[in-house]
Structure 1
């Protein structure tokens, strides 16, 4: 039974890796518009990325907050403030499932010119490399009402 589960997981990783060729150009465009060339180091492998997500799901949190912003500038200041001086992994939309997490340096700056609609993006997740905090942005676009819902969670160490 364990061999079958391992085989399924390996097969899923192979499928996801094959999809990377289709997803990567769009993800690179999102990242270039979001961060430029500053702060990006590399991509994690899919198995490394899966481990980060699985670890976060196993962690017990001791603090959580959510806010909604109508201004992109306010959204970015919130995220940068929460993740200030923190080396991060960035997971974008569902692209991370095929391309892996992006390794981002603590000096990262989010572009005020970023447009979620233009790059077809609606979800950003910043995981601290220490695994002790996560900040998220979910973009929702309705007629004349762009809303950025942010959350911040700290986990027990």
Structure 2
């Protein structure tokens, strides 16, 4: 029986994502200051499509800035987002749970604590897929 390697990878990532999902939802709700909306979470193939589209772009706008406080970085990011369509790719969680589309009325919460919300792969038991 031949199994499509991509379908196998998606299945593996979905299983791992189930272990992370509640923490992922809490983290996103905290970052955007709104309850988690499951309709804004993209499937893994949709998320992969976004990554492929970004990787194939010849020109990507990049603004290099350094901040001493995370609140400054969040303020800059929120002002740059405006009313644009944006996807949040949080830690490594997005690889297993999918990207999250930022709602039109949402902005990033200045009080978000990155240290508190770190991805903890050891605690969740999620590991990178072994290479065969």
Shorter-normalised TM range:
0.7 to 0.9
Contact 1:91/1:102 (8 A) holds in 2: yes
Contact 2:31/2:109 (8 A) holds in 1: yes
Deviations 1:64-106 (A, max 9, x none): 2211101222111210121111121111111111111112123
Say if 2:94 is the partner of 1:102: no
RMSD: 1.9
* Secondary structure of the structure 2 residue equivalent to 1:21: helix
Per the alignment, residue 120 of structure 1 pairs with 118
Count of aligned pairs between the two proteins: 117
Deviations 1:30-58 (A, max 9, x none): 11211122685521110000000010000
Per the alignment, residue 123 of structure 2 pairs with none
Per the alignment, residue 25 of structure 2 pairs with 28
Gaps of 5+ in 2: 120-132
| Larger proportion of strand | 1
For 1:100 and 1:77, locate their aligned partners in 2 and report how far apart those are by CA, in whole Å: 25
Give the one of 6, 9, 23 matched to 1:12: 9
Dislocated runs of 4+, deviation >6 Å: none
| Larger proportion of helix | 2
By relative contact order (CA 8 Å, sep 6+), the higher-ranking structure is 2
- C-alpha change, 1:119 and 1:13, in structure 2 (3 Å) is same
Contact 2:33/2:106 (8 A) holds in 1: no
Gaps of 5+ in 1: 122-157
For 2:64 and 2:10, locate their aligned partners in 1 and report how far apart those are by CA, in whole Å: 33
